[in-house]
Amino acid sequence: MFFAYFAGMLTVLSVLVVTRRNPVHSVLWMLVLFVHIAGLYLFLNAEFMAAIQIIVYAGAILVLFLFVIMLLDLKKDESVRKFQNQWFLGLVIGLIFMVVLVSTASKITVIPPLGEYSVDAIKSEGSMMTIGKILYTEYLLPFEIASLLLLVAIIGAVVLAKRRIE
């Protein structure tokens, strides 16, 4: 029941995000969308993920989006048609993919064995503790690589911005 509400709302909100004329409205619908995603995480007992979803996506990334969109002059774009003529073809292909996906997914019957991190195990020591432990022991190398990638991206952004000033 809860899941049906969240799934339905997520779909409706995503459509609203891409169809708004005014980009600021798009961003605000996206904010509502992110809050719903966080709600879905809470529903799945992942409270840490829900908090991070709000802090990182709603609190930082979307504010940056808003900041950039507000600085651009988008008055002209609003009068231009937003969708190209191919939208009907896109819809058909998308529907075909959906039918294929649903028909295969409903046939999967093999349920893999449960891992050691069941809901009760996570609840006993808190989701934050569990994620931290796994991240810094089992998945230490991927974690370090991801942070290195982010560092490279930051340096790249700074280099590009500096060049433009000179």
Partner 1 sequence: MTLADFIISIIVISVFLIHVMYVQYFERKTIGHMQARLGPMRVGWHGILQPIADSLKLFFKEDIIPSQSDKPIFFIAPIIGVIAGVSSLAVIPLWETFSIADLNIGILYILALSSVGAYSVIIGGWASNSKYSFLGGLRASAQVISYEISMGLSLVGVMMMAGSANLADIVKAQSEQWFIIPQFLAFGIFFISALAETNRVPFDLPEAEAELVSGFATEYSGMRWALFFMAEYAGVFIMSALAAVCFLGGWSGPDIWFFSYVPDVVWLILKVYAFVFLYFWIRSTLPRYRYDQLMNIGWKILIPLSLANIILTGLLKIV
Residue list 107-136, contact with partner 1 (CB under 8 A): 126-128
Question: What is the Cα–Cα distance from 90 to 88, expressed in whole angstroms?
Answer: 5
In the complex with partner 1, which residue's Cβ is closer, 2 or 97? 2
Q: Does 54 bind partner 1 (CB under 8 A)?
A: yes
38/47 Cα distance (integer angstroms): 8
Give the per-residue contact string, 20-49, with partner 1 (x = CB under 8 A; - = no).
----xx--x--x---x-----------xx-
- Is residue 37 a contact partner of residue 60, using CB atoms and an 8 Å limit? no
| Least CB distance to partner 1 at residue 126 (A) | 5
Residue 51 binds partner 1 (CB under 8 A)? yes
Tokens 């989006």 -> residue: 65
Which listed residue (71, 110, 111, 161) binds partner 1 by CB under 8 A?
Answer: 71
Distance CA 4, CA 122 (A): 25
From 9, 12, 66, 131, residue interacting with partner 1 (rule: CB under 8 A): 66
59 binds partner 1 (CB under 8 A): yes
For helices 2-19 and 23-43, angle between their N-to-C axes, nearest 10 degrees? 160
Decide: residue 90, CB within 10 A, 0-12 exposed, 13-18 middle, 19+ buried: exposed
Rule CB under 8 A: choose which of 18, 44, 63, 95 binds partner 1: 63
Q: Which is nearer to partner 1, 9 or 66 (CB)?
A: 66
Secondary structure of residue 87 in the 3-state scheme: helix
Distance in angstroms (rounded) separating the CA atoms of residues 53 and 57: 6
- CB-nearer residue toward partner 1: 13 or 31: 31
Residues that bind partner 1 (CB under 8 A): 24-25, 28, 31, 35, 47-48, 51-52, 54-55, 58-60, 63-64, 66-67, 70-71, 126-128
